[in-house]
Amino acid sequence: MLNLSPGAVMEPGFVNGVPNDVLIVEDDPIIALDFEDTILGFGVKTVRSAASVARALDLIEQRPPDFALLDVGLIREKSFAVAERLEALKIPFAFVTGYGADARLPGAFANKPRLPKPYSTDALQALLRQGKAGR
């Protein structure tokens, strides 16, 4: 049973400042598992992973996430089609890249948050909490 104080407002998709459901689009299974373990440790209820644009779009269609982390460069493709879909649904997301500020992003995504690889746990947690503000 959920116990809310009088006047408390529950924002769908976020509890205790972190999203309930995070989608990770990452083609390296070791990195995806590391993200998953870390994110679940923050109190996120569900973490789903996709290694390709097609799989990510399928997962979004099945159930839109509350937040997404997108590796820019996947095997033989970029994650920009996923970013476009998330943007259309007004779902906050961030790009994850090993290229840091040098990563080339299309102009429409130039101001989106980026998480460098390797990432710090504090930076990842701050990014997830920041996603709430972007809703």
Per CATH, is 19-133 categorized as 3.40.50.720? Answer: no
Q: What is the mean pLDDT of residues 92-116?
A: 84
pLDDT at residue 11 is higher than 70: no
Report residue 5's pLDDT band, with 50, 70 and 90 as the boundaries.
very low
Q: What is the mean pLDDT of residues 103-131?
A: 89
What is the pLDDT, as a whole number, of residue 7? 42
- pLDDT tens, 41-84? 999 999 999 999 999 999 999 999 999 999 999 999 999 999 99
Give CA separation, 115 vs 6, 58, 68, 95, 128, in Å.
37, 24, 12, 6, 11
